[in-house]
Structure 1
Amino acid sequence: MNDAAPGLLDRLSLNQQTVRQWSLPELADGCARAGVRGVGLWRAPVREYGVAAAARLLRDAGLRVTSLCRGGFLTAPDPAGRAAALDDNRAAVDEAAALGTDTLVLVAGGLPPGSRDLTGARERVAEALAVLGPYAGQRGVRLALEPLHPMYAADRCVVSTLAQALDLAERFPAGQVGVVVDTYHLWWDDTVGTQIARAGGTGGAGSRIAAFQLADWITPLPEGALLGRGQLGDGAVDLRWFRERVEAAGYRGPVEVEIFHPALWARDGADVLAEVVDRFRTHVA
C-alpha cells in the first residue's frame, strides 16, 4: 500500500457487477476471505435472492453495503410513466434502507422516443427528485445522481457531466441528493477537477459526493461500450488523480470498483478479486 494513502484498502468496495459470475453467497464469502469489507449491489440479483435474506447474509459475513444500483429513469413525459417511475424508485429506496446502505445510485434516463428536448428531460428529473428526495431522506437514504458519458445521453442518461449533476442536486438538501463521481464516465472532462471541488462544498454534511466509483477507459470500445469498462490500470484514466481530488474535496467514504466486462466474468471470481486488490494498490493508492 502506498504510504500516501494509509487505510485506503479498508475503504475498498467491490461492486457486484465486477464479479457478475458470483452468486450473492459467493460474493459474501469471496469478499470476506479477501478482506474486502464493502460491496456495491444491484437490485435484480438482490431481489432474486430476497432483500431481507441478502441483508442478513451480508451482515453475517461482516460486509457493509456501500451502494445499491439503480434507481432513476425519470424522464417519461406522460403521467402514467412518471407515476410508474416514482413507484419503482420508492421501492428502490425501501430496498436500500433494508440492506443498510445510505446510497441509492440513480441513472437519470434518456430522451423519450422521438424527443430531442434535453432541457425538458432534465427538468423532469428535477421534478422527480423533488418528490423522491424527502421520501429517501426520511428513510436514511441519499439519492446519488450519476452522470454518464455523453454517448449515453440519448438512450440512458441525459445528465452527462458532473456540472449538470450538481446543477440538479444543488436544488435539494445535501442529505437528500448527492452525486456519483465515476472515473469511467468523467475522465474526459477537463472541468472535472473544479467540479469535484464544488461537489465537496464545505465538507462534512455539506458534501455532495455520495459515491466514488472506479473503472478504466480502454480502447477499442465494444459496440455500445456498455460492457467495455477496463480493469484498473489497463486504460487511459489517471485513477490516482481522481482519488486525490475526491479526498481533497473531503470525501472519505467507500471507493467502489465497478467494472462491466465479459472477459472478467469468464474468469474465476477469486482471481478477479485478487487482481482488483492488486491493481487498486498499484494504480489508486
Structure 2
Amino acid sequence: MVSHAPTPGSDDPLDIHGVVPPTITVFDEDESVDYEQTAAHAEYVVDRGAHGVFPLGTNGEFPMLDGRERDEVVAAVVEAVGDEVPVIAGVGAPSTHKTVERAEAAEAAGADGLVVVTPYYFPLDHDAALRHYRRVCEATDLPVYVYHIPSKTGNSLSLDTLDELARIDNLAGLKDSSKDVPWLGQAIDAHPDLTFLAGSDSLLFPGLEVGCTGMVSAVANVFPEVVVDLYEAYDEGDEERARELQSQVYDIRSALKRGPYMAGVKTALSLRGFDAGDLRDPLTTMDEEDTAALEADLEDLGLL
C-alpha cells in the first residue's frame, strides 16, 4: 500500500509503482537468446523486491532482437513472474506497423501492459506522434505507457503533444528518460490521471519528489534491494534515508558506466554470481581491466 510516495494515476489500471527494473536479455555464446536465463533474471529482481518488470527496454537490448525473439522473451518473462508482479513489455519499433505487431503478440503472451518507445530514426512531428500512439492503443486492450527517451530516439514529445496523447482511452502513463526535470514536472502537474515513472538512476529520489510513482532503474537490474530500499524508505516518510540511498545509487551508477556502453550491468551481475552472458554485437562487454576496476569499486561500496 502506497502511503507517502505519489500514487499512480487514475487512468492506470495496473497501479504501477515502486521499482520496475528494465530486465536484461541473456545471450548464449553464439548470440542466440537464452530464454531460460532471461526469465531467471526477471525472477532475480522480483525475488529481491521489485514491484514489476519491464522486459525489452534499453537494458534488454530490444533493437538487437527480431520480432520472434522479442515475442518469446515476453512469453518467457510472463511465465516466470507474471503471477507475482505486473509485466509491462517493451513493444516499440520505428514503424507503427511493427509496433502494432509486437503489441498484439505481447498481449497474446499475457503481458499486463505495454511500453511503447517513441519511434526512432526518422523525425516525428506532433501529428505523426499522435497517429502512432492512437493506432497502437486501438490495437490492444492493454494499458499503454509512453517511453520518452529523446537522447536515443531523436524525437522529443512536447507538452502540447502529451496533452493530446493523454486523451487516448488506454494510454495509462509515461516513462520519462529525458532527464528534463522541468518538462517532467510540468507533465505530472498537468496530468495527475497518468502514471509517471522516472527513467534515470540519476533521478530516482528527485522523481519521487516531483510526483513519479515509480522508477525504471538499471541499477535495480543488479542491486534491486538498494533501489527497493530507497523507494520503501521514501514511502514510509523517511526522506533522509531515501536521500542517502540515492547518493549510493549515484556511486553504483558511476561504477556501472565504466567501459563500453551498457557493459556494466551484465558484468556486475556476473560479479554477483548471476550468469548474464555477453551483449549482442556490436555492443561489447568489459575487458579484464575494466572488470577488475568495477569489482574493486563495488567492493569499496560494500556490495560484493
**In structure 2, what is the equivalent of residue 34 of structure 1?**
48
Q: Which runs of 5+ in 1 are unaligned?
A: 74-84, 113-117, 201-206, 218-229, 248-254
CA shift for structure 1 position 72? 4.3
**In structure 2, what is the equivalent of residue 224 of structure 1?**
none
Distance 2:137 2:39 in 1: 32
**In structure 1, what is the equivalent of residue 162 of structure 2?**
166
Distance 2:88 2:114 in 1: 6
Distance 1:273 1:40 in 2: 13
**In structure 1, what is the equivalent of residue 229 of structure 2?**
278
CA shift for structure 1 position 33? 2.8
Give 1:1-285 correspondences, 5 Å limit: 4-5=4-5, 11-17=17-23, 23-42=37-56, 44=62, 47=70, 49-59=72-82, 62-73=83-94, 85-110=95-120, 112=122, 121-136=125-140, 140-149=141-150, 151-152=151-152, 156-161=153-158, 163-170=159-166, 172-175=167-170, 177-182=171-176, 184-189=177-182, 191-200=183-192, 207-209=193-195, 211-217=196-202, 232=204, 238-242=206-210, 245-246=211-212, 255-259=214-218, 269=222, 272-280=223-231, 281=233, 282-283=241-242
Contact 1:13-1:38 at 8 Å conserved across structures? yes
Distance 2:6 2:173 in 1: 25
CA shift for structure 1 position 241? 0.9
For these two proteins, the number of residue pairs brought into alignment is 212
Contact 1:106-1:144 at 8 Å conserved across structures? yes
Distance 2:107 2:48 in 1: 26
Contact 2:91-2:106 at 8 Å conserved across structures? no
Distance 1:52 1:7 in 2: 29
What is the one-letter code of the residue matched to 1:146?
Answer: Y
- Closer, same or farther in 2 for the Cα pair 1:65/1:195, shift >3 Å? same
Distance 1:3 1:133 in 2: 31
CA shift for structure 1 position 31? 3.1
Distance 2:156 2:217 in 1: 19
Identical residues among aligned pairs (%): 14
**In structure 1, what is the equivalent of residue 299 of structure 2?**
none
Structure 1 or 2: more strand by fraction: 1
What is the one-letter code of the residue matched to 1:68?
Answer: A
Contact 2:42-2:77 at 8 Å conserved across structures? no
CA shift for structure 1 position 51? 4.0
Contact 1:69-1:105 at 8 Å conserved across structures? yes
Secondary structure of the residue that 1:127 maps to in structure 2? Answer: helix
TM, length-normalised to structure 2 = 0.54
Secondary structure of the residue that 1:144 maps to in structure 2? Answer: strand
Distance 1:212 1:106 in 2: 13
Q: Which runs of 5+ in 2 are unaligned?
A: 9-15, 28-35, 234-240, 246-304
